[in-house]
Amino acid sequence: MDIFTFFPSWLFSTVSILLFSSIFIYSLRWKKTSKAAPNLPPSPPRLPIIGNLHQVIGKNFHQILWKVSRKYGPIMTVHLGATPYVIISSSEFANQALKTHDQILCNRPRSKGFKRLTFDYKDVAFSPHADQWKEMRKVLVTEFLGSKRSRLFKKVVDTEVKGMLDSFSSMPLNTTIDLDERLFHLVTDIVSKVAVGKSYREETFRGKKLKEMLDDLVISLCGSVSDIYPGRLGLILDELLGFNRRLEKTFSNFDAFLQMVLDEHIDHTGTSDHEKDMVDVCRSQLTTNEMKALLMNVLNGAIDTTTTTMVWTMSEIIKNPRVMKKLQEEIRRCVGRKSSVEESDVANMPYLKLVVKEALRLHSTVPFLLTRECVKHCQIGGYDIFPGTRVLINAWGIGRDPKVWKETASIFNPERLENVELDRSEMIPFGGGRRACPAASVATQIVEYTIANLFYSFDWQLPSGMKNEELDMEEVGSLIVVRKTPLSLVPVKHDWQD
């Protein structure tokens, strides 16, 4: 959503000057042609043509809008260029959007980037709500996330996590590990092997590794100028700012990569008795472009979000020694003296589940749920929402709502969730309603299992004598919010005292 993060500031200054030069002419026309809505959500004062862009451009878009909502209310209208967005920042109104009016607000807006990178809306995450979307979601749930793949998932997760633990154990004493990088490797290998049968993490394709291609995808999916300026102006600016060129290059690279993956499966058909991956079982059900769109969702959607959740969870635990001590006591008491944690052990670790859930509250998988588009008039909080209106739900802000979480909303405290029956809209890191993330359960299980093993086997320390309270928790990002600085830790093999 934060398309402005990726353009140089001087370029925006130039565009702003050009736009402001037309304000007088357009403002006269604006006043004559505008029609007042019966009861729209409140909005910050806006300027003609640019709307509220001058108030919200900057890094950490979710934080900016959260601060604005503290003044204008938990449901407000923000005009990004020529396009109005309704911003929801409370669980009460999120519940109305995701539950009461889910069917009305389950559509996705059209976008140049979405259309191109999803092979003309053949995916699950970004496509409009239609029969095509329903069929693709069914295939994803059945063939990648369902019971058919559970055995393969368990086998791959177990193998990869234990391999990572072994590599940490074999390192020289006081070795500092980049957890962002190592956890990305772990999740990439897990997701890739279940989806396409092997990991392409270390391979270079057209001069880029998989992570670089995924990063390019995220940038292109964040939006274009034509998304907020529909019409000729947006199209011209997309061309002038180089968005079209970058989009085509990103699409070409990823399309060729996915074609290579599919071709390798065709070449190896019938040559191995390996357990079938998602591509093996879906090839007969889907067209080539449908298969590519689904793989784009799996690789782009599952890897970064799961990795980021692990990193933020690790960060909060390290930042809070009391939590780390209590968590390790639970894990080690439950598991006893074994080489590692087994999947069945995790079910008996209630505090671990609270820790992961609290991390998700503070660090939502994505700061904003993917944009929804209203298809029929409805009301949220007594305000009118008209067809075509775009709705953004600030999941990051809802997780820090002082009306729900009180004055300690920004403090990491897993005990706050103990014996508490939460409304589903009070914590929505994976969305809600028809558009909820179908991989939420699987992703959470992988996070819990990995965290349990990391804190069972090792006593983690910060490098160079750094104190826990000195750990930098600043965040950056748009579609996905990550740590500004990588999480670097020293693994110390746990010394079992007899």
User: Average pLDDT for residues 355-364, to the nearest whole number?
Assistant: 96
- pLDDT number for residue 149: 83
283 confidence band (pLDDT: 50, 70, 90): confident
The set of residues, in sequence order, having a beta carbon less than 8 Å from that of 300 and lying 6+ positions away, is 214, 217, 218, 221
The 10s digit of each residue's pLDDT in 200-242 is 999 999 999 999 999 999 999 988 999 999 999 999 999 999 9
26 vs 375, residue with greater confidence = 375
Beta bridge partners of 77: 86
The structure tokens 């925006």 sit at 12
Evaluate whether 443 touches 476 at the Cβ level (below 8 Å).
no
CA 179 to each of CA 168, 351, 409: distance values in angstroms, whole numbers, following the listed order: 11, 22, 26
pLDDT mean across residues, the chain: 90
497 confidence band (pLDDT: 50, 70, 90): confident
Query: Which of helix, strand or coil describes residue 208?
Result: strand
CA 449 to each of CA 340, 367, 442, 460: distance values in angstroms, whole numbers, following the listed order: 10, 24, 11, 17
CA 151 to each of CA 144, 155, 445: distance values in angstroms, whole numbers, following the listed order: 11, 6, 14
Distance of CA 276 to the CA centre of its chain: 28
The set of residues, in sequence order, having a beta carbon less than 8 Å from that of 245 and lying 6+ positions away, is none
CATH class of 3-493: mainly alpha
Query: Which of helix, strand or coil describes residue 483?
Result: strand
- pLDDT number for residue 235: 94
User: Average pLDDT for residues 456-475, to the nearest whole number?
Assistant: 95
The 10s digit of each residue's pLDDT in 129-182 is 999 999 999 999 998 998 878 889 999 999 999 999 999 999 999 999 999 999
Spatial separation of the C-alpha atoms in residues 71 and 87, rounded to whole Å: 13
CA neighbor of 2 nearest in space, from 65, 61, 55: 61
Spatial separation of the C-alpha atoms in residues 35 and 435, rounded to whole Å: 32
What is the residue extent of each domain of the chain? Answer: 3-493
Evaluate whether 201 touches 192 at the Cβ level (below 8 Å).
yes
What does the block give as tokens for 238? 């997309």
- pLDDT number for residue 1: 43
58 confidence band (pLDDT: 50, 70, 90): confident
What does the block give as tokens for 403? 């009306």
Evaluate whether 294 touches 301 at the Cβ level (below 8 Å).
no
Lowest mean pLDDT among 202-206, 385-389, 420-424, 456-460: 420-424
Residues annotated within the binding site are 437
Give the burial class of 198: count Cβ atoms within 10 A of its Cβ; 0-12 exposed, 13-18 middle, 19 or more buried: middle
- pLDDT number for residue 66: 96
CA neighbor of 476 nearest in space, from 254, 180, 241: 180
- pLDDT number for residue 266: 83
- pLDDT number for residue 184: 97
- pLDDT number for residue 11: 38
Q: Which helix (H) or strand (E) holds 248?
A: helix 243-267
- pLDDT number for residue 15: 44
pTM of the model: 0.90
User: Average pLDDT for residues 121-126, to the nearest whole number?
Assistant: 96
Residues annotated within the binding site for heme are 437
Q: Which amino acid is at 211?
A: K
Confidence check: pLDDT of 439 > 60: yes
21 confidence band (pLDDT: 50, 70, 90): very low
Query: Which of helix, strand or coil describes residue 370?
Result: coil
Q: Which helix (H) or strand (E) holds 209?
A: strand 208-209
User: Average pLDDT for residues 381-398, to the nearest whole number?
Assistant: 96
Spatial separation of the C-alpha atoms in residues 47 and 49, rounded to whole Å: 6
Evaluate whether 173 touches 214 at the Cβ level (below 8 Å).
no
- pLDDT number for residue 9: 42
Q: Residue ranges of the alpha helices (H) in 9-111?
A: 9-20, 23-33, 53-56, 61-72, 91-95
498 confidence band (pLDDT: 50, 70, 90): low
Evaluate whether 451 touches 313 at the Cβ level (below 8 Å).
yes
User: How many Cβ atoms sit within 10 Å of the Cβ of residue 147?
Assistant: 7
- pLDDT number for residue 210: 94
CA neighbor of 123 nearest in space, from 457, 370, 393, 417: 370
